[in-house]
Amino acid sequence: MPKSWTERLNAPAEPVVKLAPISIAGMRAGQLMLVPTARMIADFMSAIPPGHAVGIRAMRQELAQRHQAEVTCPIYTGYHLRTVAEAALEAYAAGVPAEAITPFWRVLDETSPTTGRLPDGVAFIAARRAAEC
């Protein structure tokens, strides 16, 4: 049976800093790259104050700086953005109030590629952003 998004989010993992193997999404091969964990992404989102937003690129830059890297892996970042959002939506569907789930709408917006993969992602994000203004 596949793991739930919440299980994926809470799976033990450690961040890794290594040389980037390829050039992609603003990252050049050979740069010192942070491979983040899903929990790091969730914690970053949770630290953003209500009513504020941080773009994905800015989040990647901040995480890289915190870990003495030049860049953060865009592939793992994208994967973990979805994991965090899906886990938050699982909790919301289970009755956890929106105010108590990981505020993924502070990084993902209505135009983010990940948003289109989420059930009712565009509407949910728009509603949460409006509620925080």
Per-residue pLDDT of the chain (133 residues; tens, 9 = 90+): 889 999 999 999 999 999 999 999 889 999 999 999 999 999 999 999 999 999 999 999 999 999 999 999 999 999 999 999 999 999 999 999 999 999 999 999 999 999 999 988 999 999 999 999 8
* pTM of the predicted model over 0.75: yes
pLDDT at 109: 94
d(CA 53, CA 76): 20
Q: Which residue has the tokens 């289109």?
A: 116
d(CA 124, CA 9): 20
pLDDT at 76: 96
Q: Which of 31, 34, 29 is nearest to 15 (CA)?
A: 34
| 28 close to 20: Cβ distance less than 8 angstroms | yes
Domains of the chain: 5-132 (1.10.10)
pLDDT at 133: 85
pLDDT at 52: 97
